[in-house]
Structure 1
């Protein structure tokens, strides 16, 4: 039962991701072709060129996906270390602040 839920969640996530890429690629193409040829005498873009521009801008301005994974892994490890160094009272105070029940339920 759980594997079906996981497979369904993966399928939905993949579908949403591909839909987002398709919509953003079309938006980049429409905006580029509406503005840049008239303003700067730039060539028009096809859909796949617009998706390439989108990917290139993502890589240039956000970095590679591996950087984000390393940063999250480092932050998670650091958070675990800080949590392990806390006293029980400090942990309870944080749980109360976040609205997490202290009894674990």
Structure 2
């Protein structure tokens, strides 16, 4: 039987090294993109590798670490749990759940995500008589 490197005690050494290498690579890419694009476009100064790493970490803190959004994804175990619950519901309960879900997720939206930002019908004009 083959021995996997991730199952061995060496994983405590390799995982931090891989994480540091990934962070360094992403920081280098951020630095290169910033230094090659933004000074010419927005007239900002060039940044160092450490400043690029700080910008990347700050963006991750502010904008999230790749978690799925409100409507998409979710944990696979949670999806399986919901599918199991839905399967155990009666047809009436399923219809009620779908209706409630539709009202919660698509309250004021038209098909394909289009919204009415203003009422297109003209209000009745009051005439001063």
TM-score bracket, normalised by the shorter chain, equals 0.5 to 0.7
Write the distance in 2 (CA, Å) between the matches of 1:52 and 1:42. 17
Matches within 5 A, 1:82-97: none
Is residue 56 of structure 1 aligned with residue 58 of structure 2?
A: yes
In the alignment, structure 2 segments of 5+ residues that lack a partner are 1-6, 66-73, 85-129
Is residue 32 of structure 1 aligned with residue 34 of structure 2?
A: yes
Write the distance in 2 (CA, Å) between the matches of 1:11 and 1:39. 42
Counterpart of 1:20 in structure 2 is: 22
More helix by share: 1
Alpha-carbon offset, residue 7 of structure 1: 2.5
In the alignment, structure 1 segments of 5+ residues that lack a partner are 65-70, 84-105
Counterpart of 1:103 in structure 2 is: none
Counterpart of 2:104 in structure 1 is: none
Please say which structure displays the higher CA radius of gyration: 2
Would you say how many aligned residue pairs link Structure 1 and Structure 2?
80
**In angstroms, what is the RMSD of aligned CA positions?**
3.3
Q: Structure 1-normalised TM-score?
A: 0.55
Counterpart of 1:7 in structure 2 is: 9
Give the match's secondary structure for 1:43.
coil
Higher RCO structure (Cα 8 Å, ≥6 apart): 1
The list of structure 1 runs, each at least 4 consecutive aligned residues, that deviate by more than 2 angstroms after superposition, is none
Q: Structure 2-normalised TM-score?
A: 0.46
Give the match's secondary structure for 2:9.
helix
